[in-house]
Amino acid sequence: GNSVTQMEGPVTLSEEAFLTINCTYTATGYPSLFWYVQYPGEGLQLLLKATKADDKGSNKGFEATYRKETTSFHLEKGSVQVSDSAVYFCALSPSGGSYIPTFGRGTSLIVHP
Amino acid sequence: DAGITQSPRHKVTETGTPVTLRCHQTENHRYMYWYRQDPGHGLRLIHYSYGVKDTDKGEVSDGYSVSRSKTEDFLLTLESATSSQTSVYFCAITPREGQSSGNTIYFGEGSWLTVV
C-alpha cells in the first residue's frame, strides 16, 4: 500500500534559520504530493502541492520539489519566522481510481525568537 | 475555502452516550472523509464516502458509523462513546474536479470531543 514517512520532530530553530523537513513516499504510479500546515487549535490548511514529477510547489516562502527518482518531497524555507511554528504534514493522493489520501505523522516546528 | 462546516465544534459527553458529529459542505463535492487526530498517531481515517449512500470503512472504523443521505451532509456517529474516542475529529473533502486538482484534500476546522 501507499505510505508517507516524514522526519520526526520537534524541529527547533532560531528565527531566520533555514528549514528542511524531509518527506519520502511509497506509491504506485504518479501520485500528487502535498504539504499541509496546522496551527494550534486549528484544522489543516493546504500549504503547497505538486502534481507531477519535477514540479515545484511554493507558498508563503515555503517550497518543495516532487522528486520521482528519490520518491521525495522535502519542505524547505530559507528564513523561518516565529509565526511558522506549527505542525507540518506531508501527504499523497493516489493517481487514478482511489481518492484515499495517505498522510505522514506530522512534524512539529518550533521557532524561537 | 472549500465550504466545509463541522458541528459541534466542541462537545463533552458521558461514556455510553451516543454522539453525532456533522460535516456540511456547500459545493457539491463527491468525496468526504472523517479523520481523527491523536498525539503520536497523526491523522487516521475513520470512514469515507464517495457519494450519497456510498460509504466505506477506514483504518479505525470500530465503534463508529456514518451516513450520507444527501450530498452536502456526512454524519459520524459514535453509538456508545468511550473514553478512547476522546479526540479531535476532522471532516475533509476532495473537490469534484478530481484529477485536475490533483485530488487535493480540504479540511474542516475540527470537532473537539471529550468523553468523560
pLDDT interval class at B39 (50, 70, 90): confident
CA dihedral over A83, A86, A90, A96, signed as positive or negative: negative
In the prediction, which pLDDT does A29 show?
83
pLDDT beyond 80 at B19:
yes
pLDDT score of B99 more than 70: no
Q: A23, A42, A44: which to substitute to probe chain B, counting the most B Cβ within 10 Å?
A: A44
Distances (CA, A) of A13 to A44, A64, A79: 22, 19, 10
Pairing of strands A11-14, A56-59: unpaired
Q: What is the DSSP letter of A53?
A: T
Strand partners, B65: B77
Residues in A whose CB is inside 8 Å of some CB of B read 32, 34, 36, 42-46, 49-51, 89, 91, 93-96, 99-101, 103-106
Mean of pLDDT values over B23-50: 92
Say how far apart CA B92 and CA A103 lie, in whole Å. Answer: 13
- pLDDT band with cut points at 50, 70 and 90 for residue A30: confident
pLDDT over threshold 60, residue B70: yes
pLDDT by residue (tens digit) across A31-65? Answer: 999 999 999 888 999 999 999 999 999 999 999 99
pLDDT at residue B100 greater than cutoff 70? no
3-state secondary structure of B12: strand
Write out pLDDT tens, residues A67-106: 999 999 999 999 999 999 999 999 998 876 667 889 999 9
Three-class secondary structure of residue A43 per DSSP: coil
Alpha carbon B19 to its chain centroid, in Å, reads: 13
CB–CB contacts below 8 A, A to B: 56
Of B31, B42, B58, the CB nearest to A99: B31
Return all residues near B104 (Cβ < 8 A) that are at least 6 apart.
A32, A34, A46, A49, A93, B94, B95
Which one of A49, A51, A103 has the shortest CB-CB distance to B42? A103
Residue with cell 470531543: B113
